[in-house]
Amino acid sequence: MNTSMFSRIHIILLALLIFSLSLPVFAEFVQPQEAKIIAQTWLNLIEGKNYSELNIQQVLEYRDNNFTLSQSKYELTDENLPPLYLILFHNNGFVLISAEDNSIPVLAYSSDSSCNINSYPPAFLEWVENYAVQIRQIRDEKTVIPENAQLWQSLFRGNLPANFRQDRAVRPLIVTNWDQGWPYNELCPADPNGPGGHVYAGCVATAMGMVMKYWSHPTTGVGSHSYYCPGYGYQSANFGATTYLWDEMPNSISTSCIPIATLLYHCGVAVNMGYSVDGSGAQSTDAANALVNYFRYPNAVLQNKMGMSDTQWNNLLQTQLDNGCPMYYSGSGSGGGHAFVIDGYQTPGYYHFNFGWSGSSNGYYYINNINPGGYDFNSWNSVIANSIPQNYNINQVRINMNAFGATVGTNFNLTVSTFPVLGSWNVNHFEFTLIYDSENITFNGASIANGIASDGNLSVSETEPGYLQVSWNGNSNIIGSGDLITFSFRPLDTGQYLFDMVGMTYNNTPITTTSFIMVDVVPPVTNLTESAITMLNVMHLAYNQIGTTEIRTTYLLPSWNVTHYQFDLNYDPSKLQFMGIDTAGTISAGCEPSVVINNPGSISFSCDSNTRFTGDGALLKFHFKAIGNGPTVSITQVSPANFFYNDTQIFNLGSANFILSAYTANDDELAPELTSLQIFPNPFINSTQIKLNSKASEPVQFTIYNLKGQKVSSLVITDSPKTFTWIPKDMMGKPLPTGVYLLSWEQGKEKGFAKLLYFK
């Protein structure tokens, strides 16, 4: 073959290679290991998590309307390859991943919800089957969708595609996680074969109920309705004669709750619910009519996807959610129709579903057709739009305050929350003044983190004691309901304390439907006798080192009028030498405790105050020097006894452990000094002996000062031994008061200091 022919063939082969690379490839199967990589990458990118394969709990495959444990790898010759995987993470979180790389990679996901593998919501299984049908169609028809393949490539590189927008999102608006079974169905027709002895409340009723709970509307309904339910007889509800107790409807329940059961039963009656122990059903058209006719939602309207493109459907849903309106959503498939709530969205095409199954499988689901050129599998979907209460406007928005579990001496949170704020109101500012009892409550700070006002700037200033001026300016508008701001307070005494807010405005609109709250503050213990005394441990105290412990108390209420305490402190004098006390930074600051040395190893303390001892924490600090270190680490205790507050004895007493380090050869070299000072006893009652051990012959100047720096005694010793007995008297011979004194000594170029502890 000549060179020119070889060159022509080379050029042709190169051209064919380039052309083949430009063609889309046929769909390829995604193995479980690849699915795990995509799942953890997605949650890391979308939710800001830091997942690795270690966080993955299980990988399940989907076949025949059921999830089972996945194989580690599949043979591509298998004619029944799974269409998708469910990746479950430890401590909640899941991702649905397609097993075909010409489908979109991620079908659904959540970082905070779990999937109950023993009881999947029927609507969840129906939605998963919808995905599976489309993926099988792509696989069977060898459909090539280049944009989906690009999604996989981007995620394998650890990136989101450039066209993915995360700047438009609405967090889940609904916080209720209700269900259809017991006890939600408590007022539904009785049937021994049903959950809790009743038929299911029905997904239609549960979805309607959760939407209405979001608005806490209506207070009362309109009219009444009755119908005949086969197998269970006539069912009736008088909506107009019923007051719906929204504040008594928790976000989830496990025991009887008649207010919720009443609402869900009334929803069922309003839609002519076909009750059954296998699952209760109704028509979505009846749900929309019921909201209008019985529950005062005059603009609620059922919208069908039939005839709408994916873009038009997305625009409808996002417009509703951007306005803060969650929606009743209905999807139909081979397993029948299922209703749930759609209440948020994140990234293009993903909407947050609340299945009304106690929170199981709640998350973001891809709502568009996976195969844009195929059959519209979502054409039978419908939504009830404009579910806004009658005459709802910004002036009617309720502002609530909540606080739970306030105990004296312990911080508690007070949360200000709002009822739903519509996006169309463009609320980007609020302000108000919070009034509280500053004499008995201390303010610690405020936060907007994790609330619906987190995207903004908060200013809180105490203009005068007990008046907090609050102002917030948002980087984006407030949408929906939830917490605006959380305050932290610390109560100083028991009682009921009023918190009130005045001057609340959204933008420039006054909000008059605000509420005050009475916070009931309880004592940490029921009476003074139950107080507890503890002491701090001292760790790894070397020979001749001084360690500090504290005697600490639980909270002392002002109402207990504690003005006196006394106790004994016992320790091993062969292990520890008492060096003194300190009141700085303690409850006893400003007082002068009395210290009496009973005998070596036992000291009595007492303290009287002109004001009440209040609060919790350290009563006194004690300094001890380690003198009994041995060749191994040892433990010795300092223990309180005979503790009294006023005339009340406290029996719950805790000791301090002093861990004495081993006395090493290095310590032995450092411990003996050429010049050392000995003071014994110290502390002392009447007198103490002071001795300077020194090889030098120069005279020693001893000077004693009080804590004010005033010289009270001075002595020069020229003879050996350099020792004298000090009786606490000043230079005029007058007795000195008890307390702490400073001894200064100087011999030639050497000098030193020591404390003298004089007590009675």
Give the domain CATH number at 732. Answer: 2.60.40.4070
Q: Within this chain, do residues 690 and 627 fall inside the same structural domain, yes or no?
A: no
Phi/psi for 24 (5° steps) reads -70, 145
pLDDT score at 370: 75
Provide the terminal-to-terminal Cα distance of the chain, rounded to the nearest Å.
119
Q: Within this chain, do residues 639 and 551 fall inside the same structural domain, yes or no?
A: yes
Q: Within this chain, do residues 663 and 679 fall inside the same structural domain, yes or no?
A: no
In a domain, 88, yes or no: yes
As for how many domains the chain has, the answer is 5
Q: Within this chain, do residues 533 and 510 fall inside the same structural domain, yes or no?
A: no
In a domain, 154, yes or no: yes
Give the domain CATH number at 564. Answer: 2.60.40.680
The residue that leads in pLDDT, 453 or 664, is 453
Q: Within this chain, do residues 535 and 663 fall inside the same structural domain, yes or no?
A: yes
Inter-CA distances, 24 with 98, 143, 655, 686, Å: 19, 10, 76, 101
Residue 225 has pLDDT above 70, yes or no: yes
pLDDT score at 79: 79
pLDDT score at 379: 64
SS (H, E, C) 43-71: HHHHCCCCCCHHHEEEEEEEECCEEEECC
In a domain, 221, yes or no: yes
Residue 631 has pLDDT above 70, yes or no: yes
Q: Within this chain, do residues 538 and 561 fall inside the same structural domain, yes or no?
A: yes
List pLDDT tens digits, range 318-370: 999 999 999 999 986 555 578 999 999 987 789 999 999 999 999 999 998 87
In a domain, 252, yes or no: yes
Q: Distance between CA atoms of 759 and 699, rounded to whole angstroms?
A: 30
The mean pLDDT of 398-405, rounded to a whole number, is 92
Confidence of residue 664 (pLDDT cuts 50, 70, 90): low
Confidence of residue 76 (pLDDT cuts 50, 70, 90): confident
Q: Within this chain, do residues 655 and 681 fall inside the same structural domain, yes or no?
A: no
pLDDT score at 310: 86
- Kindly tell me the burial class for residue 162, based on how many C-beta atoms sit within 10 Å of its own C-beta (0-12, 13-18, 19 or more): exposed
In a domain, 398, yes or no: yes
pLDDT score at 740: 81
Cis check for the bond before 183: say yes or no (omega within 30 of 0). yes
Please provide the average confidence, as pLDDT, over all residues in the chain.
Answer: 89
| Boundaries of domain holding 726 | 673-758
The residue that leads in pLDDT, 740 or 505, is 505
Residue 673 has pLDDT above 80, yes or no: no
Q: Distance between CA atoms of 111 and 658, rounded to whole angstroms?
A: 47
Choose from 368-377, 450-459, 675-684 the range with maximum mean pLDDT.
450-459
The residue that leads in pLDDT, 6 or 739, is 739
Q: Within this chain, do residues 548 and 503 fall inside the same structural domain, yes or no?
A: no
Q: Within this chain, do residues 405 and 481 fall inside the same structural domain, yes or no?
A: yes
Amino acid at 564: H
pLDDT score at 374: 56
Q: Within this chain, do residues 95 and 121 fall inside the same structural domain, yes or no?
A: yes
In a domain, 374, yes or no: no
List pLDDT tens digits, range 255-272: 999 999 999 999 999 999
Torsion, Cα 593 599 600 601, to 10 degrees, reads -60
Residue 674 has pLDDT above 80, yes or no: no
- Both tokens assigned to 518: 């009475």
The mean pLDDT of 468-474, rounded to a whole number, is 98
SS3 544: coil
Radius of gyration of the chain (CA): 39
Confidence of residue 371 (pLDDT cuts 50, 70, 90): low
Of 276, 293, 310, which residue constitutes the final position of a domain? 293
Q: Within this chain, do residues 40 and 160 fall inside the same structural domain, yes or no?
A: yes
DSSP codes, 179-245: -SSTTTTTTSPB-TTSGGGB----HHHHHHHHHHHHHT--SB--SEEEEEETTTEEEEEESTT-B--
CA angle, 119 then 125 then 126, to 5°:
145
CB contact burial 652-680 (16+ within 10 A = b; e otherwise): ebebbebebbebeeeeeeeeeeebebebe
The mean pLDDT of 283-297, rounded to a whole number, is 97
Alpha-carbon 151 to chain mean position: 34
Confidence of residue 1 (pLDDT cuts 50, 70, 90): very low
Confidence of residue 8 (pLDDT cuts 50, 70, 90): very low
In a domain, 77, yes or no: yes
SS3 94: strand
In a domain, 81, yes or no: yes
pLDDT score at 566: 98
Of 667, 693, 718, which residue constitutes the final position of a domain? 667
Of 117, 142, 164, which residue constitutes the final position of a domain? 164
Q: Distance between CA atoms of 458 and 447, rounded to whole angstroms?
A: 8
Q: Within this chain, do residues 210 and 228 fall inside the same structural domain, yes or no?
A: yes
| pTM, two decimal places | 0.76
Give the domain CATH number at 209. Answer: 3.30.910.30
Confidence of residue 25 (pLDDT cuts 50, 70, 90): very low
